[in-house]
Amino acid sequence: MKKKILILSGGISKERLISLDTGQQVAKELKKNGYKAKITEPDINLKKNIKSFKPSVIFNALHGQFGEDGYIQTILEQFNIPYTHSDVISSCIAMDKEISKKIFIKNKINTPKFFSYSYNLKKLALVNKINKKLKFPVVVKPFNEGSSVNVFICNKKNLFKTLNSIKNYKKVMIEQFIGGREIQVAIMGNKKLGAIELKPKRKFYDYQAKYNTKAKTQHLIPVDLTKNKLKQVLDIALKAHRVIGCSGVTRSDFKFYNGKFYLLEINTQPGMTRLSLVPEIAAYKGISFIKLIEWILKDASKKK
């Protein structure tokens, strides 16, 4: 009998539905291949469910806040059971866009310029700061969300309306807008798995472009880059994976503009849905969905 796998799915973040989809698809694939898989919410019954099911590995299929920011990882540490993806510290760093970008800059990884905004400047002062440091348009985003939740491209006209609409975040990032091509890179442990290019019909690869089939984002693989440029972006992604201290699978999001790659962020728990990019890159490289899941489980087991 193959191992018992407990899948953490759902949660209370804005990415709950994506997490449920990931959890269901991973469970379906595991069961189909002889594993005993059970899905559980990260709720008040979590401890009881872990103790009664006695899993060999916990597959963390949570996305967003409390799932990939070090919070649930801190809770899982007490059970002494291997869990998938990155550990407490690397999860926390990767989810905090300000800290991770500062680490990228320190390690000479090209990333768009930015500053944090705490609703503490008058309108004219903010516009002047943007004109001086970044130029319009700019990208406005929370520091700790995934899946492009509440990410907006803003010009002078809609900037303050946008900022007002996300005022529940005490602090947001205002970032230089980089045009050009959307390139995503998957890393699998110490292996540069591959890249994929996205051509969204929308303004950029936002939440709808990621998860709404009607948004019709084109997925291009292989990516039309020279051999040297492809190696360059794969190398940058692996370097980011290492300097943040990640383990398991990660996906790094890049913009490619005027011959330069700009790393936007690194995702420690990329989605495992039918529209997800890491399984698509893996499949192109000859790694089936179940083989990818099994590798993630095996990698988690090495950590204990």
Active site residues per annotation: 15, 147, 211, 251, 253, 265, 267, 271
Quote the tokens at residue 68. 């990939």
Q: How far is CA 300 from the centre of its chain?
A: 18
Q: CA-to-CA distance for 231 and 183, rounded, in angstroms?
A: 13
Q: What span, in angstroms and rounded, lies between the C-alpha atoms of 38 and 285?
A: 29
The neighbouring-strand residues paired with 8 are 40, 60
Span between the terminal Cα atoms of the chain, in Å: 21
Q: Where do runs of H (alpha helix) occur along 81-206? A: 88-95, 97-106, 123-133, 159-165
DSSP count for the chain of H helices, then E strands: 11, 12
**Distance of CA 247 to CAs 77, 117, 244, Å?**
15, 31, 9
Three-class secondary structure assignment of 76-108: HHCCCCCECCCCHHHHHHHHCHHHHHHHHHHCC
